[in-house]
Amino acid sequence: MPSETVIATFYVFILAAFLGYQVISRVPPLLHTPLMSATNAISGISLVGSLVTAGAHQTTVSAVLGFIAVVCSTINVVGGFVITDRMLKMFKRKATPDKKE
């Protein structure tokens, strides 16, 4: 039988996933870009943490897992900036040709 800690951790995970889905699905489209910027900042923090973990090199396993975390965090940050850039381009006005009389 699983220990109480595992059950509590699983319960918190399920609750966080449900709450996260509810919060994100109720964000109006106008706020998606600022929300994406905040998500990129959080991903940047996790990138720094993974760099520290990979750089500590306490064991080979921690170095490998740190490297994997660095790669995943970097992909997340770059992807976030690409998506944010695409969203910001949607709000730019298209250039209209000048009317000649």
Task: Tell me whether residue 70 is in a domain.
Answer: yes
Task: Tell me whether residue 18 is in a domain.
Answer: no
- Residue pair 54/71 in contact by the 8 Å Cβ criterion: no
Q: Which helix (H) or strand (E) element contains residue 91?
A: helix 60-91
User: What is the C-alpha separation between 56 and 59, in angstroms, rounded?
Assistant: 9
Of residues 56, 76, 74, 75, the one with CA closest to residue 66: 56
Q: Which domain holds residue 38?
A: 30-91
Task: Tell me whether residue 9 is in a domain.
Answer: no
Task: Tell me whether residue 72 is in a domain.
Answer: yes
Task: Tell me whether residue 81 is in a domain.
Answer: yes
pLDDT tens per residue across span 18-35: 988 888 778 777 676 677
pLDDT tens per residue across span 2-12: 688 888 889 99
Task: Tell me whether residue 3 is in a domain.
Answer: no
Task: Tell me whether residue 23 is in a domain.
Answer: no
**Could you give the 3-state DSSP secondary structure of residue 9?**
helix
Predicted TM-score (pTM) of this structure: 0.56
Q: Domain count of the chain?
A: 1
Does the structure show a pLDDT above 80 at 60?
Answer: yes
List the Cα angle 85/31/73 in 5-degree steps.
50
Task: Tell me whether residue 11 is in a domain.
Answer: no
